Each structure stands twice: as C-alpha cells, then as structure tokens.
C-alpha cells in the first residue's frame, strides 16, 4: 500500500509499504477514503519534531475491511471515522472517554508508534473504542473534523471555562483555531480572533468573531481596549509558540484561564510562575478527548447549531501529498486545510 512519509524537514514522499495486519483480536483494518493534513503534521514537516522517518497522518475516515474476532460493534463494510488518539478502551482511564487518561498510554496515529492515516489502509487497535460509525446527516468533511480538529477546538473552548457573554480571545486561526472560534461562539462567548493572515481573520469574522486587524505586538493593547482594560476571561492558544503563549498570559485577565491546544516544540517554555500565581491564572493544556467530544458535538452538527463548512479549502490525490503539505505549510489565506483522497 501507499503511505505518506516525512524523512526530513520539508521532505515528503509517498512510499510503498506492506499492508498492515490486525493489531490483535480487538483490532480492525480500515480502507482510507479521505484523510487530512493537520497542523500537527506540519511539526514533522517543519522540523519542530525531528523524529524521522515517520509515516504521518492521524485524521481518517473510511470503510472497515477486516475485523478481529473480539470486535463487537463493527463489521466489514461499515463506514467509520477513526479517533486521532487511541486508547486501549478497557481501563479506568479510557472509561472516562479520554484516551489521554489510558493507563497503558495514549497513542497518536502517524507519530511513530501507530501507522499513519495518510495511507491506503490503517490498522486500528481496540476498534470498538477507537472507531465511530459515521452517522446519517454527517458529511465527509464534518466526519474528518470530528477525528481531531473539531474535537480539539471544542476541548479548547470547554477547558477554557467559556461562559456565555464573556470575552474569549483565540490566537491562531488555522483549522483548529477556526474550530475553536465556532465552538466558543456556540457556547455563547463573545470571541476576539487574531492571526497575522488577514484572510484567516476574515473567515473567523464570517463565523461571528470580532477580528483584531493589528500587528502581533498590538494584540494585547487591542484586547485590553476591547474589554475595558480588564483582559479576556479566557485565551485559547491554537498555535503553542513562545510568542503566542506570552501574548496569552498578557491578554488574559486576573482569575482568567489560558487554554493551550497548539503544539509546542521540544524546547522548554520559560513560564513566569510568580505572576501567574499572583494573578490566579488557570493554565490548561490538552489534546482532544476525541471519544468524549463525539457525543457532545454530533447533536450540534446534526441540529445545525455548529457549522463545519469552509474549513477544508483544498483536496489533493494522495500521490500529491508533497504539494498538499507545501500548500498548507504556506499558512496562506486561501489554503487552510487540505484533504487527501485515494
């Protein structure tokens, strides 16, 4: 089968690799019908996570083509979406529907330990836990977003303690940031949105946010002005770089919450703990508890209360993965998120 592989910064290839086997009696193999390039994948591509070579991709939907003898919920031929983060499904941690709490350790597809989803086939462990049948009324784009980006945006907003009527600042308006904007709005917040790319600010504004058309160093003054000098009740950092973390801590009000879902590099971040303690700042960092968010997000999507349209801007054949990565890595206004299809 084919699998997209990053072998060095900026080096993408589509390799021929052996077809995956079942991971065990509880596993399944899914034929991938659509996958996507995530901002997290760019950390391998950009060299922030220099773990090479690595078969990448953790967002996928497709059809089950093989199941182990212990799989009870799925059969060959079912169309499913795959959780980007996998748990064992049998421990106390997984019982919370957050695979990060798995006592055996959560595993992310396409990061070295599990296969990459940007491929023809994907072996999924603990299939009864890590798969979800694509419900009626949920299109392929929405289903792909439910594998990671939308769940991450929802987790960013809920873990930010968003309260209706309060002001939330979202830093970074890539796919996750756009999802966080829409989720915070769905929770009733007044959302301020910042990204240095004007077109991405325009997309957030179209979704109902107030864009901040300022230079990066002017974001904090703009937030203070918009909040009467108090600062945002919560800041969602969908970038995770030192500069955005600095901005988040400066823009959040005392007793506020900073919710980080952006992926930092391997270098430590110098956290000013004294001022954080003095100001009673709550800091939360997370990947998405994808399995838990399915039950929370599906009604919002099917009822039309959460719009998932427009996040995907480009579609490429799997064989053109290098072109897709270059387009997404440009972080332009026109290419927000790319889908890869067989």
Q: What is the pLDDT of residues 169-223, one digit of tens each?
A: 999 999 999 999 999 999 999 999 999 999 999 999 999 999 999 999 999 999 9
CB 87 within 8 A of CB 106: yes
The whole-number average pLDDT for the span 301-316 is: 95
Could you give the maximum distance between any two Cα atoms of the chain, in Å? Answer: 61
Tell me, what's the pLDDT at 270?
A: 92
Tell me, what's the pLDDT at 311?
A: 97
Tell me, what's the pLDDT at 274?
A: 83
Asked if pLDDT for residue 108 goes beyond 90, the answer is yes
Tell me, what's the pLDDT at 276?
A: 85
Quick one: which of 103, 77, 75, 79 has its CA closest to 89? 103
Tell me, what's the pLDDT at 135?
A: 92
Asked if pLDDT for residue 275 goes beyond 90, the answer is no
The whole-number average pLDDT for the span 233-246 is: 96
Asked if pLDDT for residue 342 goes beyond 90, the answer is yes
Tell me, what's the pLDDT at 323?
A: 97
Tell me, what's the pLDDT at 333?
A: 87
Q: Kindly indicate the confidence band of residue 2, based on its pLDDT and cuts at 50, 70 and 90.
A: very high
Q: Is the peptide bond before 305 cis (omega within 30 degrees of 0)?
A: no
The whole-number average pLDDT for the span 19-44 is: 96
Phi, psi of 94 (to 5 degrees): -65, -25
Tell me the average pLDDT of the chain.
Answer: 96
**CB neighbours of residue 306 within 10 Å:** 21
3-state secondary structure of 66: strand
68's CB contacts (< 8 A; 6+ apart) are 22, 23, 24, 25, 26, 27, 28, 127
The whole-number average pLDDT for the span 48-64 is: 95
CB 70 within 8 A of CB 23: no
Q: Tell me the pTM.
A: 0.95
The whole-number average pLDDT for the span 217-238 is: 98
Q: Which residues of 95-113 are buried (b: 16+ CB within 10 A; e: fewer)?
A: eebbbbebeeebbbbbbbe
Percent of the chain at pLDDT > 70 equals 100
**CB neighbours of residue 76 within 10 Å:** 12
The whole-number average pLDDT for the span 268-285 is: 91
Pairing of strands 232-237, 252-260: parallel
Q: At what angle do helices 290-302 and 149-158 cross, to 10 degrees?
A: 100
Tell me, what's the pLDDT at 266?
A: 81
CB 212 within 8 A of CB 192: yes
Tell me, what's the pLDDT at 187?
A: 96
Give the whole-angstrom CA distance, residue 42 versus residue 64: 28
The whole-number average pLDDT for the span 59-79 is: 98
Please report, in angstroms and rounded to a whole number, the separation of the first and last CA atoms in the chain.
Answer: 11
Pairing of strands 210-211, 11-16: unpaired
Asked if pLDDT for residue 67 goes beyond 90, the answer is yes
Beta-bridge mates of residue 282: 257
Torsion over CA of 207, 209, 213 and 214, rounded to 10 degrees? -140
HSE of 248, CA atoms in CB hemisphere, 13 A: 32
Q: Kindly indicate the confidence band of residue 273, based on its pLDDT and cuts at 50, 70 and 90.
A: confident
Tell me, what's the pLDDT at 232?
A: 98
């Amino acid at each position: 089968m084919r699998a997209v592989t990053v072998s060095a910064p900026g080096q993408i290839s589509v390799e021929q690799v052996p077809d995956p086997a079942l991971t065990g009696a509880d596993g399944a193999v899914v034929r991938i019908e659509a996958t996507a390039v995530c901002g997290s994948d760019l950390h391998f591509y950009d060299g922030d996570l220099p773990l090479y070579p690595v078969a990448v991709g953790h967002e996928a939907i497709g059809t089950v083509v093989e199941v182990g003898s212990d799989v009870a919920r799925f059969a060959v031929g079912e169309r499913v979406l795959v959780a980007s983060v996998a748990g064992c499904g049998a421990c106390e941690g997984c019982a919370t529907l957050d695979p990060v709490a798995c006592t055996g350790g959560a595993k992310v597809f396409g990061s070295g330990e599990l296969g990459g989803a940007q491929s023809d086939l994907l072996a999924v462990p603990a299939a009864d836990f890590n798969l979800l049948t694509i419900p009626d009324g949920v299109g392929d784009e929405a289903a792909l977003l439910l594998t990671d980006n939308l769940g991450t945006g929802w987790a960013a907003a809920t873990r930010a303690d968003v309260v209706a009527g309060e002001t939330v600042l979202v830093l970074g308006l890539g796919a996750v940031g756009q999802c966080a904007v829409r989720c915070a709005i769905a929770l009733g917040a007044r959302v301020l949105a910042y990204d240095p790319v004007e077109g991405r600010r325009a997309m957030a504004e179209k979704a109902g946010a107030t864009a901040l058309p300022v230079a990066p160093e002017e974001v904090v003054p703009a937030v203070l002005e918009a909040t009467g000098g108090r600062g945002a009740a919560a800041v969602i950092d969908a970038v995770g770089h030192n500069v955005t973390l600095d901005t988040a801590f400066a823009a959040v009000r005392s007793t506020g919450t900073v919710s980080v879902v952006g992926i930092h590099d391997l270098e430590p971040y110098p956290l000013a703990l004294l001022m954080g303690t003095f100001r009673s700042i709550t800091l939360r960092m997370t990947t998405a508890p994808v399995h838990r968010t399915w039950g929370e997000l599906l009604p919002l999507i099917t009822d039309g209360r959460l719009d998932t349209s427009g996040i995907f801007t480009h579609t490429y054949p799997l064989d053109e993965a290098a072109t897709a990565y270059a387009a997404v890595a440009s972080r332009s206004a026109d290419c927000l998120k790319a889908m890869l299809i067989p």
